[in-house]
Structure 1
Amino acid sequence: MAAREHRRRGHERFITFIDAIVAIAITLLVLPLVELTAQIDDYDSVGALLRENQAEVWAFLLSFVVIARLWVVQHDSVRHVAVQDGRVMRLLLLWALTIVFLPFPTALVAAAADDGVTKLLYIGTMVLSTTCLTLVEVVLVRHPELTDGDDEADPVYGAANVAMLLLALVITLAVPATSYFPLLLLLAADPAARTWHRLRGGDSRRRASTD
């Protein structure tokens, strides 16, 4: 019991560390906008400054929404984990790396949205991030002793999101005129996962809390 309690506290400290990484990353997003205030004398008004730098404003909002969404999914994936586990830790550290890196390709979207490398970095980072969380679900399905017993881990929904992101990446690279609209395929991820469960003759074990 003492060993399990030690692992429980270790997991709680680790999740606090991961949450701190996300909090810092999402806070740093605003720094490029703060730096714009030093240029206010170069514009006739604040409105003019915002209009001239609207790409940076949209990049900030996009990064905030994407990172917040990924954090909510991560929270849902690990909220029933009860003890520390090396596999889960490594996957979450890799996931945290994608969160810290994500503002960079998002800024590139504002500056060079049509560039193929920009699309690869932006969507590819989301693919890696979502894959990490899906693999966490796989670990929890195979090792339910890591949870508090109330977990209903289901990697199918994560896998569906990864598949749709990969398909969106292929489409936007193959047909550049589609821009980032193929990301709307994510709306089909949950229906695809539910269809998979029906075809397998079972019910989904859990839906993402972000639905």
Structure 2
Amino acid sequence: MSFAEAPRERDRGLDRYLTFVDAVVAIAITLLVLPLTELGADLADDQSVADLLGEHKGEIWSFLLSFLVIANIWFLQHRALRSLVALNGLVMRMLLLWLLAIVLLPFFTELVAAAPDDRTTKVLYFGAITAASACVAVIEMTMRRNPDLVDIGDGTAAARVTGAWVNVGLLIAAAVLSIAVPALSYYPLLLLLADNLVLGLRRRGGAGRPALSG
């Protein structure tokens, strides 16, 4: 009779490191909303709230955009690290680079609000998002190639690696579209919604293939 191997416990040092990572992400999201908290002071006596919001729609739009972007990037990272139980040097460096991209996003968000159509603004904004997603993809590859870093019974590693690189590819496509066709603004980021669709079609195609018997 064979017994299932017990799940491995996550290293305490890794737990502390990931707690630090999550705290930095929370601070970055908080920094996004700080410019909006000062809008109330700009409300004139003869001005309506609707007029005030209309005057600052650029700041509001950039906040909502970056909030959704950071949330998406964090969910990708969280999904990638669910089975991680230990760190190595490469994973640690990729997480630090991922954090760097995240903490830069509030600054780049201010640039989006001030100069949304500027080419440099788009390069910086899309560059940070793509860099963060690429870091997650490298982490996924590292985990797949180093079974000692992950919990036992993780049979989704290959699909997650594919998903991570699909995400990077969609971001590059979104950046090219946004820069090449300025009228599209930042709407090409909606391509990220195609991530799950692409992976779903890939899994469906794989499931339809007959299994090979040796």
**What is the TM-score of this pair, normalised by structure 2?**
0.82
Count of paired positions: 198
| Distance in structure 2 (CA, Å) of the matches to 1:44 and 1:195 | 52
What is the aligned-residue RMSD (CA, Å)?
A: 2.4
2:69 maps to: 66
Which segment drifts farther, 44-53 or 63-72?
44-53
2:27 maps to: 24
Structure 1 contact 82–148 (Cα < 8 Å) conserved: yes
Please point out which of 146, 157, 165 is paired with 2:163: 157
Query: Could you give the per-residue CA deviations for residues 128-176 of structure 1, whole angstroms, max 9, x where no partner exists?
Result: 0100001110001001111121433221111011111112212222222
Amino acid at match of 1:39: D
2:116 maps to: 113
The answer on 1:188 being equivalent to 2:194 is yes
Which blocks of at least 5 consecutive residues in structure 1 are unaligned?
204-211
- Percent sequence identity is 51
Structure 1 contact 80–150 (Cα < 8 Å) conserved: no
| Distance in structure 1 (CA, Å) of the matches to 2:97 and 2:46 | 42
Deviation at 1:104, TM superposition (A): 1.9
Query: Could you give the per-residue CA deviations for residues 91-116 of structure 1, whole angstroms, max 9, x where no partner exists?
Result: 11110111111122222222222111
Q: Give matches, 1:20-169, under 5 Å.
A: 20-41=23-44, 44-151=47-154, 152-153=156-157, 154-169=160-175
| Distance in structure 2 (CA, Å) of the matches to 1:120 and 1:43 | 40
Which one has a bigger Cα radius of gyration?
2
Distance 1:30-1:179 versus aligned 2 partners, 3 A rule: closer
Amino acid at match of 2:186: Y
Deviation at 1:85, TM superposition (A): 1.9
Amino acid at match of 1:103: P
1:208 maps to: none
Distance 1:42-1:109 versus aligned 2 partners, 3 A rule: farther
